[in-house]
Structures are given as C-alpha cells and as structure tokens.
Amino acid sequence: MRRRRSTKTCNSGLLRGGWACLVVLLCVGCSKPQPFNQGDPIPIGPVHLIVSGVEVSAADDRPRFIWHGLQHGPKAGPPESMIQVVVSIRCSGSNRFVRMDLRDRMLERGGITLQDSAGGSYSTLDWPSGRYRGSLGDQYEYENWVAGFYVPQDRKGFTLVIKNLDRAPGQPSAATVPLGR
C-alpha cells in the first residue's frame, strides 16, 4: 500500500526548494567587481572600454560643484583643498549611436565613480571633454570619454569603478581599475 505524504510536508519541500533557487539567483546577480589594469579592454555590453590615462592636478578656478561630487566618506574641506582627477577612457566596438547612448547613461547615472583608499566615493561631474582634446587626440567624442572628479587633495589610492549597465552573459557586473597616486 502506498503511503500518502501530507500536504504540509509537500509544501515545506517546495518552499525550501524555492528559497534555494532564490538564494542562487541573488548570489549570481551580486558578483564582485572584476579587477582590470589600465590599458585592458573591459567588456561592457556591446563595447569595450579602455582606461587610457589619468591626470591629477590642482582644481581650477571655475565654480566647483564639489558637494554634488562627494557621495559619502570623509567630509570635503573648502574648495581650495580640492584636486581634479581626470580619467581618459577609450570606447571601441559597435556603432557611434550605441557608444553615444552608453556614454550618456554611464556619466549621468553613476555608472562611473572614483573611490579612494580612505573609503570616499565620488560621482562623475559634468566635464568639458573639449578641454582635454589635446591629451585625447582628435577622435570622435563618443570614442574618447572624459570622466572628471573633484576630490579632497589629501586623498590617495584612487580606483575607478565602472558599472556594467548593459551586462551581457559572461561579462562582469562591474570593473575596477586602480589609478594610483
């Protein structure tokens, strides 16, 4: 004679299986950022980004929106104590419309941030790419990106964090690139 399982036993087994699937899906979606070096191609959806250079200099005399750029971490001092970090990024692959859309989304939606060794995190500011045209060459604007940041001058150990907004299978959810200083 066949023994019947109770409905409660079956439901608890299904519930455990459902929780296990949910945990696996969450862990897959929460992967750690993958480290890259300057000059390495970083796969972001249909394109590759290459961090091609970094310039660190005293902040200019233009009005600075430093409080917007500082997300969290140590409090920023007065504007005079800020430096500017300008990161050159080359984008290759796909067509110019895809590169243009991705650039706008990455720079406007926090897809590119700067972190320092003290735990500070800084958003990309609206940066005039034409100002750095000499260091980037004469390539089309959406092939050469400029991510600019104002940070306190006593900060060191910068790392660029690039979120993969167009993640394809097998690509990292985010990339980190140590910039030094």
Integer angstrom CA distances of residue 73 from 50, 156, 167, 179 = 27, 13, 28, 19
128/49 Cα distance (integer angstroms)? 19
pLDDT of amino acid 57: 86
Q: What confidence tens digit (pLDDT) does each residue in 96-109 have?
A: 889 889 988 888 88
pLDDT of amino acid 66: 43
pTM, full prediction: 0.71
pLDDT of amino acid 181: 76
pLDDT of amino acid 141: 62
pLDDT of amino acid 65: 45
Rounded mean pLDDT for each run of 10 residues along the chain, 181 residues in total? 57 53 45 93 95 86 45 51 90 89 87 94 72 46 84 93 94 95 76
Where helices occur in the chain by DSSP H, the ranges are: 7-29, 66-69, 96-108, 133-136
Joined tokens for residue 173: 């959810």
pLDDT of amino acid 21: 45
Contact 160, 179 (CB under 8 A): yes
Instruction: Give me the domains of the chain, ranges plus CATH numbers.
Output: 35-180 (2.60.40)
pLDDT of amino acid 60: 63
How many other CB atoms are found less than 10 A from the CB of residue 19? 10
pLDDT of amino acid 156: 92
pLDDT of amino acid 68: 43
pLDDT of amino acid 27: 43
